[in-house]
Structures are given as structure tokens and as C-alpha cells.
């Protein structure tokens, strides 16, 4: 029998999902993360699940990993010492950026420092024009002094970003050749390779981020692959991308910025896979782990993609699933601000020292401590009882830091923590729904992550969402989603055209050019061209607008009617996103985009026959749980023993290895044929 394993590294826990291909059965495992070296937890989790299932290393045929190494390097500003080479006159573009700011009237707002400081940014005399023609040839003699300074300042990685290199990358390629010859130890990243697209600031920021995190990713993956070899695991290591597809570890080393939302993307793919199986096309996914909340929206069966995101305040213009992240997790720290108001997050206790209740030295009250105090988490059952929990330390932290200063009870303080963090999360969900023109009441909420099921009913009630869906293994859901991911590579070609000159035949030639490049790259990586399909789209705008809207295109040869439909679709989307459109105005085509998707072996979910509604077989005990100002005697159930068709009237607690589920009073839970738990009554019906 052959096996597939997916591993997702989180801030607090590392999740492992194992698929027995012949049987289609999935096994899961969860271990504490090791932030100082994430590979230690990855290897411990892999070995643990393989020993438990008695699997020989040679039987492992597929290993996929979602990693936070690049994300942490950027957010913590612990990347490589990086230098930038750019066209003369443009060295300060990285610092100037755009005049837009996230909070227009916040006088205390400070931009994050550039990942490349000014003394490591160098100008080179060269110039390529917008049409790709060379206006000024590259002056090689200037590179000699730059190379000396790079050596003296012990630079590890270099980003090259010349103006209009997306139309003609020759000068970037020449400089890369010189650096490879003179300083072979350097990591070198060219903007024409990472992002061959116009807009110099976003392209420069993206290639600098890629160069900044590249050494950390390369060292991490090399170490991990060596450890895998020592264990006799010969499977190719695949890495989850931010766009929801997979790439080989070799590609991840060169285009490391594509892994910045590696783990959260797996959760959205899990939600997409679930939506297809339950035939529910509109869902909002919420992944609440130990340090953060990741929310995304799936509309009409498709996730929403973005080609420009911000991570830690830095613009990243790469195709990725649209995921909004806030600092709201189980480890989020609660504190009183200078005015005495209760705040929760974004600071997190992480895996170490962790919440006070973990007994690892943490002394700050967290969301997890609040759930422990209110009886929602069983102190003796976290990780199936493998992890020791200290309720007394959780109470001590909340009492000392919050309850006593506020002159309230420990329970009132704990409930206050949950109300504040829930309010933060509601705002996060509104960002991907209401602010994008979608009504959350028309969606189901799919909750996962270790902490997601604890908070989802509250959030649904606040947003008017009528149904909460809790998958069978919510705490391992991102890892499970990776097993359902396909190979995906994205390509872009900037060609600015007025509507009156857009010609279907010319567009087909450009798409064919990208298609050939895609097939060649995927062949080199060992993927069968026969499994590759292509998804085409275009970025459109009204003339002189600063930003575009992406519009899907037909897979057939484009005709005049297709071009008209594309323009009409743009007008409709503009009205949906911005509340108005200008149908009398012409449009401009800015970029053509091609996604090459290789279908991997699909992950099948097993249907179960519906049993009776009686859940008594899964009943464990009663526990006092705090709901809305008082303790309520609440039945506790073991999820592993619940059967399809079982129904539970709230209040109730449902426990399992990787998470705890809460059913509030007046709500009802039902187990469907795929063993999802559906909670209704949250939206007032």
C-alpha cells in the first residue's frame, strides 16, 4: 500500500494528515511546534504517525508541506542581509512607495522599514523602454565597485529590478551572470523571473521580499530533505503555495515569496473540497489556530484570488488566494490598555511560552486561558490527554492581570476576553464579505483550526449566518486540504491595449506564448503535460485608473463576441465591487494571466449511512460550562463516537483530539453523511 502525507506548520501546533491511498482513509496527528527549528516538529510528527500506523518509509510516495518559514522571516524581519540593484534614479522607489495608507487619519501610523536599507541599494546605468527596446546599454564597469561593496557589507542575497524588465529582461540576466561568476555564494533574484509585470514599486517590493526570505527557505528545505533521507523517505518534497497549488521544493527555493501564505492556503483548499462534496457553493472559511485567524470566501464554488496583497505592511504582487489574516488565535494575549479598556491580540504567546494554562512559563492571560476557565475546554483532554493543562495557572493569570484591576470576577473577565476577540474576528470576516460586496447571510461558515469551532457559533450569530459547518478533523484541516491540492503555476504578460484595438487573434498568440513556457517548466519539474489544464483571464480597467479587475476568459479560441462579453463582465464586476460603473466608457486591457493546473489524485470523502438521531453512544459526562453570565450543566460528547444522523440539542460540548466544539443553548447540531457537524440556529432560524 502507498501513502501520502501532508504537514502544516502552525504557530502553536504542527499538523500531520496521512492518506492510505488504496483504502482512501485518513489518519491525523498533532504535535507541538518548535519555532526555533520547525523541521524538528515536522520530523517528529511524521515519525510518530508512521510508527503508529506501522508504515515503512519506502511506502511514502508523496510528501507535501505547508511552511511558515518565509512568513516568519518577513514578519519578524529576520531575513537575509539583502541588497538591491536597480536602474539609476530609482533607488528610493522602495522607500517612497505609494501615497495610499491603510489608515488615512492615523497620525501615529508608521510604515514598516524597507527590507533593503538605503546603504544596500545600488544604482546601475541602463535603461529599457516600455516597449522592450534598449535606450541605454548596461555599463558593466559600474558593477565592479558595487560587487566590492556587497562583499564588504557581507550581503547574503541580491534582488535585481530594472525598469521595464518585464518587457525585456536582458539587462537583469546579464547582471545575474556577472554576480554568479564573481560572487557564486550569493542568492540572486531577478524581478523578470519572480514578477514579469509592470508597476515598478510593487515589482521591486516583491523581488526584494523574495530575495530577503530565499536563504531561510533554502536552508530550511535542505535541512528537512536531509532529515527525510536519513529516515529512508525518498519521496519528492512538495511545497504548498499561496495560490492554493503545489510546487517542488526546487521551485520554492528560487521563488520563495510564493510560500508566504503556504499554510492558510491549505485551509481554503480544504474548504473548497468540502464545498464541492456537500454541494454548498457559498462558504466563508475561518481558520483559527494558536496565533492568528485566517478568513477567506468561496463564491459559487470558486475561491477568490488576488494579485496584490500586503503581508506585514509589505506589498506582494503575486497570485494568491485572497486570505485576510488578523492576530486573533488561542494564544492571543489579553491586556488592559492605558485607558483601562480590554484589548486582545495581536500579540500572541505562541507555542512557547504559550498560554498560562500550558504551564510552560507563560504568565499572560490568553484566549485559550479564558476558554479553560469557562469550562469550554477540558483541562484533561487537550491533544487527547497527552498535553498537561494547568487550570489554576490560567485562573491566576486572568485574575492578576484583568479581574482584580477591573474589580470583576475571573469568569466575567474570561467572558470579556472572548467577547473582545470575537468582535475582532467579526470585523475580519466583514473584510472578505461585506467590504467586497457579499452578504455573509447568504453563506455558510466553515470553521476549523484548533480554536475555530469554539468561536464559530458566536461569530455566525453576530453576522446572521444560519449554518456553521465543522469538518471531521477541524484542527488538522489545513493539512487535509493540502492532500486535495493540485499543481499550479501562474504566468502573466503585461500588454496595455485600448478596447478598440483588442483583437482575439492577437490575444491567442500571447496566450500560446505563455502556454509553451508553462509546459516546458512543468516538464522540467517532472509533471506529465497530459494532466495540465489552463485557466485564462485578463486584468482590465477604465482609462487612467490605478488598479485593475481580473475577468475570466473562455478556454476556447477568442472571438469578437468573447471580447464583448469580457468587457460587459468587467462593467458588472466594477459595479459589484465599487457600487458604480461607466458602461459608456471604453476599457483598457493591462495584463493577460494564465494558470497552468495539473490535477493530482483526488481526495475522496467516504459517505456514511445515516443512523438514528440519538447521540447517547457518544455521551461522556456532564460539565459546568459558562454561558452568558452563568454556569450551565452541559453534556459532553466524544466526537469519534458520533454517527451520521445523530442530533444534539444545545448546550453541549463535543471533544476530539484536535479541537473542541461548542453548541450554544437554542442551537442544534446534526452529523451529516460525511461526518461533518452542522450547527443551526445561529442566524435566528
**504 plus 564 within the same structural domain:** yes
The answer to whether the beta carbons of residues 591 and 202 sit under 8 Å apart is: no
The answer to whether the beta carbons of residues 365 and 402 sit under 8 Å apart is: yes
Report the side by side order of strands in the sheet with 60-66: 25-32, 13-20, 3-9, 60-66, 237-240, 245-248, 486-498, 588-598, 532-541, 549-552
Residue 288 lies in a domain: no
Determine the pLDDT at residue 651.
95
Instruction: Say which residue the cell 511546534 belongs to.
Output: 33
Residue 356 lies in a domain: no
| Domain CATH number, residue 128 | 3.40.1360
DSSP class per residue in 610-666: ---S--GGGEEEEEEEEETTEEEEEEEEEGGG--TT-EEESSEEEEETTEEEEE-TT
| Domain CATH number, residue 18 | 3.30.420.40
**593 plus 550 within the same structural domain:** yes
Q: What is the spatial distance between Cα 651 and Cα 632, in angstroms, rounded to a whole number?
A: 8
Instruction: Say which residue the cell 497530459 belongs to.
Output: 530
Q: Count CB-CB contacts under 10 A for residue 135.
A: 10
Radius of gyration of the chain (CA): 26
| Domain CATH number, residue 497 | 3.30.1490
Cβ burial of 500 (10 Å; 0-12, 13-18, 19+) is exposed
Residue 425 lies in a domain: no
The range of the structural domain enclosing residue 635 comes to 616-680
Beta strand extents in 72-115 (DSSP E only) = 82-87
**85 plus 171 within the same structural domain:** yes
Beta strand extents in 514-604 (DSSP E only) = 532-541, 549-552, 588-598
Q: Provide the domain count of the chain.
A: 4
Domain stops at, among 598, 625, 643: 598
**93 plus 117 within the same structural domain:** yes
On the question of a cis peptide bond just before residue 651, with omega within 30 degrees of 0, the verdict is yes
**520 plus 555 within the same structural domain:** yes
> pTM for the full model?
0.85
Query: In angstroms, how far apart are the furthest CA atoms of the chain?
Result: 81
Determine the pLDDT at residue 386.
61
**94 plus 66 within the same structural domain:** no
**143 plus 21 within the same structural domain:** no
**125 plus 21 within the same structural domain:** no
Residues 6+ apart with CB under 8 A from 324: 294, 295, 296, 428, 431, 432
| Phi (first) and psi of residue 490, to 5 degrees | -110, 140
Take residue 266 and report the three cell numbers written for it: 491549505
Q: What is the spatial distance between Cα 5 and Cα 55, in angstroms, rounded to a whole number?
A: 11
Residues of the chain with pLDDT under 50: 685
The answer to whether the beta carbons of residues 310 and 274 sit under 8 Å apart is: no
Residue 478 lies in a domain: no
**56 plus 127 within the same structural domain:** no
Of the chain, the end-to-end C-alpha distance in Å amounts to 47
312: helix, strand or coil: coil
Residue 577 lies in a domain: yes
Residue 58 lies in a domain: yes
Q: What is the spatial distance between Cα 407 and Cα 403, in angstroms, rounded to a whole number?
A: 6
Determine the pLDDT at residue 518.
92
Determine the pLDDT at residue 383.
52
Q: Count CB-CB contacts under 10 A for residue 573.
A: 17
Helix axes 560-578, 504-524, angle to 10 degrees: 80
Determine the pLDDT at residue 685.
44
**546 plus 586 within the same structural domain:** yes
Q: Specify the long-range contacts of residues 247-252, CB closer than 8 Å, at least 24 apart.
A: 247/487, 247/488, 247/489, 247/525, 248/525, 248/526, 249/221, 249/225, 250/525, 251/525, 252/217, 252/221
Domain stops at, among 569, 598, 627: 598
Residue 645 lies in a domain: yes
Residue 319 lies in a domain: no
Q: What is the spatial distance between Cα 181 and Cα 471, in angstroms, rounded to a whole number?
A: 53
**592 plus 550 within the same structural domain:** yes
Cβ burial of 543 (10 Å; 0-12, 13-18, 19+) is exposed
**255 plus 226 within the same structural domain:** yes
Q: Count CB-CB contacts under 10 A for residue 348.
A: 24
Amino acid at each position: 500500500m502507498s501513502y501520502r502525507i501532508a504537514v502544516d506548520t502552525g504557530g502553536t501546533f504542527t499538523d500531520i494528515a496521512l492518506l492510505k491511498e488504496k483504502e482512501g482513509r485518513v489518519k491525523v496527528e498533532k504535535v507541538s511546534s518548535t519555532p526555533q527549528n520547525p523541521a524538528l516538529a515536522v520530523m517528529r510528527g511524521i515519525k510518530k504517525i508512521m510508527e503508529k500506523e506501522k508504515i515503512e518509509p519506502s511506502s511514502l510516495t508523496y510528501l507535501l508541506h505547508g511552511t511558515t518559514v518565509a512568513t516568519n522571516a518577513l514578519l519578524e524581519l529576520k531575513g537575509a542581509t539583502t541588497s538591491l540593484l536597480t536602474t539609476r534614479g530609482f533607488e528610493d522607489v522602495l522607500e517612497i512607495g505609494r501615497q495610499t495608507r491603510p489608515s488615512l487619519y492615523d497620525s501615529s501610523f508608521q510604515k514598516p522599514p524597507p527590507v533593503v536599507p538605503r546603504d544596500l541599494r545600488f544604482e546601475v546605468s541602463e535603461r529599457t523602454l516600455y516597449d522592450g527596446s534598449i535606450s541605454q546599454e548596461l555599463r558593466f564597469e559600474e558593477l565592479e565597485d558595487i560587487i566590492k561593496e556587497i562583499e564588504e557589507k557581507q550581503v547574503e542575497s541580491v534582488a535585481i529590478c530594472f525598469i521595464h524588465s518585464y518587457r525585456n529582461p536582458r539587462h537583469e540576466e546579464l547582471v545575474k551572470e556577472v554576480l554568479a561568476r564573481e560572487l557564486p555564494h550569493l542568492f540572486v533574484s531577478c524581478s523578470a523571473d519572480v514578477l514579469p509585470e509592470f508597476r515598478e514599486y510593487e515589482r521591486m517590493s516583491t523581488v526584494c521580499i523574495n530575495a530577503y526570505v530565499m536563504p531561510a527557505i533554502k536552508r530550511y528545505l535542505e535541512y528537512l530533505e536531509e532529515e527525510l533521507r536519513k529516515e529512508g523517505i525518498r519521496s519528492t518534497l512538495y511545497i504548498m503555495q499561496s495560490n492554493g497549488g503545489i510546487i517542488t521544493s526546487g521551485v520554492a527555493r528560487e521563488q520563495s515569496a510564493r510560500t508566504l501564505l503556504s499554510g492558510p492556503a491549505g485551509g481554503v483548499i480544504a474548504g473548497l473540497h468540502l464545498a464541492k462534496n456537500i454541494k454548498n457553493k457559498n462558504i466563508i472559511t475561518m481558520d483559527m489556530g494558536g496565533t492568528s485567524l485566517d478568513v477567506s470566501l468561496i463564491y459559487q464554488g470558486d475561491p477568490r484570488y488576488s494579485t496584490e496583497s500586503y503581508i506585514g505592511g509589505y506589498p506582494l504582487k503575486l497570485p494568491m488566494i485572497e486570505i485576510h489574516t488578523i492576530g486573533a488565535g488561542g494564544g492571543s494575549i489579553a491586556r488592559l490598555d492605558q485607558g483601562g479598556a480590554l484589548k486582545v491580540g495581536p500579540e500572541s504567546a505562541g507555542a512557547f511560552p504559550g498560554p498560562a494554562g500550558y504551564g510552560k512559563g507563560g504568565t499572560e492571560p490568553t484566549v485559550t486561558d479564558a476558554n479553560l476557565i469557562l469550562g469550554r475546554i477540558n483541562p484533561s483532554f487537550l491533544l487527547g490527554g497527552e498535553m498537561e493543562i494547568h487550570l489554576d495557572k490560567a485562573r491566576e493569570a486572568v485574575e492578576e492581570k484583568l479581574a482584580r484591576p477591573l474589580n470583576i470576577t475571573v469568569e466575567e473577565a474570561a467572558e470579556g476576553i472572548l467577547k473582545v476577540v470575537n468582535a475582532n474576528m467579526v470585523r475580519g470576516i466583514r473584510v472578505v464579505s461585506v467590504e467586497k460586496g457579499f452578504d455573509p447571510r447568504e453563506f455558510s461558515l466553515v470553521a476549523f483550526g484548533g480554536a475555530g469551532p469554539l468561536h464559530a457559533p458566536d461569530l455566525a450569530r453576530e453576522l446572521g449566518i444560519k449554518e456553521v459547518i465543522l469538518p471531521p478533523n477541524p484542527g488538522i484541516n489545513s493539512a487535509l486540504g493540502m492532500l486535495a491540492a493540485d499543481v499550479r503555476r501562474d504566468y502573466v504578460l503585461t500588454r496595455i491595449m485600448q478596447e478598440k484595438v483588442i483583437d482575439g487573434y492577437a490575444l491567442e498568440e500571447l496566450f500560446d506564448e505563455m502556454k509553451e513556457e508553462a509546459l516546458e517548466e512543468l516538464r522540467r519539474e517532472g509533471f506529465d503535460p497530459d494532466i495540465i489544464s489552463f485557466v485564462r483571464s485578463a486584468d482590465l480597467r477604465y482609462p487612467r485608473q490605478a488598479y485593475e479587475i481580473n475577468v475570466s476568459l473562455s478556454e476556447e479560441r477568442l472571438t469578437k463576441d468573447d471580447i464583448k462579453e469580457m468587457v460587459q463582465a468587467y462593467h458588472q464586476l466594477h459595479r459589484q465591487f465599487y457600487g458604480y460603473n461607466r458602461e459608456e466608457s471604453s476599457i483598457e486591457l493591462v495584463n493577460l494571466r494564465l494558470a497552468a493546473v495539473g490535477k493530482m489524485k483526488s481526495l475522496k470523502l467516504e459517505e456514511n449511512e445515516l443512523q438514528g438521531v440519538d447521540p447517547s453512544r457518544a455521551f461522556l459526562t456532564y460539565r459546568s460550562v459558562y454561558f452568558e453570565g452563568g454556569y450551565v450543566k452541559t453534556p459532553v460528547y466524544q466526537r469519534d463516537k458520533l454517527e451520521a444522523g445523530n442530533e444534539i440539542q444545545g448546550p453541549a460540548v463535543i471533544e476530539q483530539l484536535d479541537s473542541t466544539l461548542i453548541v450554544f443553548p437554542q442551537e442544534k447540531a446534526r452529523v451529516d453523511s460525511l461526518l461533518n457537524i452542522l450547527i443551526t440556529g445561529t442566524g435566528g432560524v
